[in-house]
Structure 1
């Protein structure tokens, strides 16, 4: 066996993949050996790495037929089944490991294998929105081993998604401090408006996950081959140029660019969703560089060779982001926009597009990027968004004569403090109702529990289902006042709400993301709907609810002036962005050697 393993290792180092596959096949199918199950495992691992998942499944099943208690083979079988889209079977294989009293751990710590099974099952359950089951497995994992930062991170965020307050609930030997330190940046944005804490969360992620590249910037290597001239090339880096909040906001931006002066590139790994929105975005681009399946360093070199002058990252550290591309500096000017309204701490990201409301002077010390200011609101949007037929209140189970407060942001974007303020508002405005989104049954149950604690009857919370964008837009018209979330303000949702002529009340805090809606309201001409404390927010919500005529006057104002306001002057915003990009790009070109 030793000679065969040595030969296998040698061939693997030499990249002789097909020969290695044949070696394992002959070993397994040849003369009986007490180590055939180990050879099967190695063979299956190689097939899995090659994404030949169906073949790998058969090999792992053979290994288990030879040695049923072989935990590593069962774990990897689960991964192949997941890749093949057979989630229930994958979960069953992992359950066999974490529920087993004992199993065979070949050269591994049994605890590590049990944690592997628990954590992967929890991850898959979370993606399938089976939050309660997922959280239960995370708790079991942390009770077995407290020091697991990634598990702690998911544990905090899954509690946010379920409105399972208080979110920071210690488990096993995990301390409150550990939960705070290991909270992801996304979860931190929903937990606090403290910019120092947000910066710490971003820096921790970058320290742990982003490449530490110290070599020459890729754009310098590429520019040495060819001088930059002609149209300024703007590249938009994203995996969300599709039916996604970022895609919905940016379609008209791409169309309105001055294509006679700028060459617009999509640097994209978005899935093909077949939607008219994605087709519209692609049509607006001068060129598209597909990066799906391309590793980060190769993608960065491809972008550099394209000669991009200004690289606009639309994702930051959100799901599916590829910050390593930025770390190699494939463009001389790299700026963050829209996807992450917060500092990312990503090396190579030097600018963040903002306005002076979202990024006041006192916020700047907590950002690794410099602000690239536009004169009015930073947020682009789409004036061509499709709106469905105007519905009636009866269609959604809303009372005809009640004051309807609404909030359609994701449940993780607010905390118990904000929700309690909403409940006190309902209590103070007789007959009013709150029309809100419930992402899942656990969030709904937890919100009803807190409502009961505030003596608010369950029927005064009316839960809205998720619907297609045209219907979602049309139903804004049924609300009297939309209540913004805090500390994670509405962005796309606020734009949609104001476009549809419905007023929104916000609370602005200390961070970019907690000031987004305030920027939009100021630019649309309703600064008196911007508050700066919980008490002011709550008092203003009650005042407007007790005086429906005030809400109606806001609606009249938006109907008459909203679409013509600075907020929806999208051509003006595009010209402002182009002016900033051109200034930076020309200065950079001027520095190039002749």
Structure 2
């Protein structure tokens, strides 16, 4: 047990005196707040909450609602959400128009899973006649209510309602970068084009400069824009660590220790791709560890990943500096970041440099611009020489393909076309990428392809009704009737894999190519037509096609892409020949020689780790 600091010792000594004063009903609010602040600063939040509880119960003050509010705030920060709810409700009983208490109460009921109640509380702030009388500075309160309701509605996939609230928020305060970022991405999720739809004082430039890196990967094949977007995120969000790297001073000898850093080691694209990687590592030379904040989803995949590791350390409850210190103390030689700047990422861990070699892999197929990440696993197709100036990381080139995958994935028996809602005759194009990857130029190209291949259909993932409605509407503009679009619901992995067998040709998205989906498609023996551009992410499927032995399915312009798709669609025998090739040679190709890929990765990690040990 750690020794109390002098600040804690002083606070502890005064706790009983403060509590006695609060119980006596003689403590003034400023004195109460000062004492509670000191207790919180000393790490004694529970004592601060108890102090407020006693003061509220015993003090006949006209400011008791303020005491209740502060009490609720402390309880909420401690994760005691039901008690915090009680405190905020007391505050509102005393002061029904106390908007700040209503806002915070919304958060507490949301934490308890009562989403509709949370939305109603925030709506009572932004959508009632009383909203205009919130005080001298109503705008921050309105923005708080609008933005949190929009956030929750987005999580609930009520995208139309969420977008409407974001618009209201941006009309009130147009320069909110975070809100503009979500506004752009929610339009991408709905296939609401143009994505950069301006209004009020919200300019195209502001939307562009607010776009998240994920959103920019969907929107632009310009490597400079992707780099600038990553750099902006790092500048705004990532800690500027000036202390020495944490890995210094930690002894490293014996087996090389590889650490995987991720919140996606579960039923997620990263978990699906990497399960066999952990299993195949050479335990004679390497120890394999994970530092993880993944959800415990109860899936066999999660259990399999955990079983394949020498150790898995949960760091979800740790601060970034604490987690980095733990990684450094473990003597990790090579830390592999599987997250990048994607949702849930923890880049500040990497900023502390807990390992001498820090490598980006899979989670972000682009530059992260993180100062703590020096390397990225790649191949010479996804990262050709002309791409190097747009990456802050140096490439670790694998000889065949950058992507590992899992040879143990199992598909169920294929359904019939009728069971899948497909016509018995006619060419079946499919495109199972997430809806947010679908850009307007590619979608209109697909509709032109359907026009030129009589009787063909396009089989799609039905992610949300708003995207479906927008895609169907634009299809109509291109002369394509709704029955030629077949929307499939999401399915369990084995059923999803089975679907590929019914399709004749997979049409890839651009500039955000298929990654895990492309691997699944080729594993199941279905050819994929891609367009490769200038960025890592727009060259992923091309890398897989090169490694599997089908480079003629790689195009470089939208015109070439359209022509190739039409040629194949009107020559079903050609699609069948690709399927025969994949059935006979696909799984034995370098793309799916996962043991060789793992050895290639290990050889590079060993070289870098031993060099770092030599220099230490």
- 1:127 is matched with which residue? 155
Partner in structure 1 of residue 475 of structure 2: 451
1:102 deviates by: 3.2
Match of 2:600 in 1: 576
3-state secondary structure, aligned to 2:441 = helix
Aligned residue for 1:335, secondary structure, equals strand
Shift of 1:400: 1.1
Whole-angstrom distance in 2 between the partners of 1:40 and 1:179:
40
1:320 corresponds, among 344, 347, 368, to 344
Instruction: Say yes or no: does 1:375 pair with 2:403.
Output: no
Offset at 1:110? 1.2
Q: 1:104 to 1:41 in 2, by over 3 A?
A: farther
Hey, what does 2:244 align to over in structure 1? 216
Say which of 434, 447, 452 aligns to 1:428. Answer: 452
Is the counterpart of residue 521 in structure 1 residue 549 in structure 2?
Answer: no
Q: Tell me, which stretches of 5 or more residues in structure 1 are unaligned?
A: none
Displacement, 1:260?
1.1
- In the TM superposition, what are the counterparts of 1:323-472 in structure 2 within 5 Å? 323-472=347-496
CA contact (8 A) 1:310 1:331 kept: yes
Residues 254-288 of structure 1, C-alpha deviations (whole Å, 9 max, x = no match): 11110111000011111111111111111111111
Deviations 1:547-594 (A, max 9, x none): 1110000000001100110100101000000000000011111112xx
Could you say what secondary structure the match of 2:376 adopts?
strand
- Which runs of no fewer than 5 residues in structure 2 stay unpaired? 1-28
CA 142–103 in structure 1, closer or farther in 2 if over 3 Å, else same:
closer
Residue 103 of structure 1: how far off its partner (Å): 5.3
Cα deviation 1:70-89 (Å, max 9, x = unaligned): 01100000000111111010
Please point out which of 518, 525, 533 is paired with 1:509. Answer: 533
Asked if the contact 1:246–1:314 (Cα under 8 Å) also holds between the matched residues in 2, the reply is yes
Q: Summarize deviations over 1:307-338 as a string: whole Å, max 9, x none.
A: 00000000101111111100000000000000
In 1: Cα distance, 2:146 partner to 2:364 partner:
31
Once structures 1 and 2 are overlaid, which stretch shifts more, 210-219 or 29-38? Answer: 29-38
Quote the offset at 1:104 in angstroms: 9.6
**Aligned Cα RMSD in Å?**
1.2
Normalising by structure 1, what TM-score?
Answer: 0.97
Alpha carbons of structure 1 residues 105 and 584: separation in structure 2 relative to 1, 3 Å: farther
What is the aligned partner in structure 2 of residue 75 from structure 1?
A: 103
CA offset at residue 461 of structure 1? 0.5
1:198 maps to 2:226: yes
Tell me what 2:4 maps to. Answer: none
How far, CA to CA, are the matches of 2:341 and 2:467 in structure 1? 25
Of 106, 109, 121, 1:93 maps to 121
Aligned with 2:613 (options 553, 567, 589): 589
In the alignment, what sits opposite 1:111? 139
* Contact persistence 2:526–2:579 (CA under 8 A): yes
Tell me the equivalent position of 1:141. 169
Equivalenced residues, count: 588
Displacement of 1:108 in angstroms is 7.5
Distance of 1:7 and 1:325 partners within structure 2 = 34
- Match in the other structure for 1:179: 207
CA distance in 1, matches of 2:393, 2:135: 46
In 1, the alpha carbon distance for the partners of 2:578 and 2:178 equals: 45
| Distance (whole Å) between structure 2 residues aligned to residue 16 and residue 262 of structure 1 | 43
> 1:16 & 1:545 partners in 2: Cα distance?
69
- In structure 2, the partner of 1:279 is 303
Equivalent position of 2:499 in the other structure: 475
Query: Which whole-Å CA distance do the structure 2 matches of 1:490 and 1:125 have between them?
Result: 27
CA shift for structure 1 position 20: 2.0
Q: What secondary structure does 1:362 align onto?
A: helix
Mapped to 1, the partners of 2:491 and 2:306 lie a distance apart of 25
1:403-428 Cα shifts (integer Å, max 9, x gaps)? 00000000111200000000000001
Aligned counterpart in structure 2 of residue 20 of structure 1, from 22, 32, 48: 48
- SS of residue paired to 1:26: helix
| Alpha-carbon distance between aligned partners in 1 of 2:556 and 2:150, rounded to the nearest angstrom | 39
* Structure 1 residue 29 displacement after superposition: 1.4
Q: CA deviation at 1:106?
A: 8.5
Taking the TM superposition and a 5 Å limit, the aligned residue runs for 1:489-504 are: 489-504=513-528
**Alignment correspondent of 2:508:** 484
Q: Which residue of structure 1 aligns with residue 571 of structure 2?
A: 547
The answer (yes or no) to whether the contact 1:299–1:325 under 8 Å persists in 2 is yes
User: Contact 1:507 / 1:518 at 8 angstroms: preserved in 2?
Assistant: yes
Change (3 A) 1:398 1:35: same
Hey, what's the Cα distance between the residues in 1 that align with 2:32 and 2:414? Answer: 72
Kept after mapping to 1: 8 A contact 2:430/2:503: yes
CA distance in structure 1 between the aligned counterparts of 2:383 and 2:140, rounded to whole angstroms: 45
Preserved CA contact (<8 Å) 2:88 2:104: yes
User: Corresponding residue for 2:78?
Assistant: 50
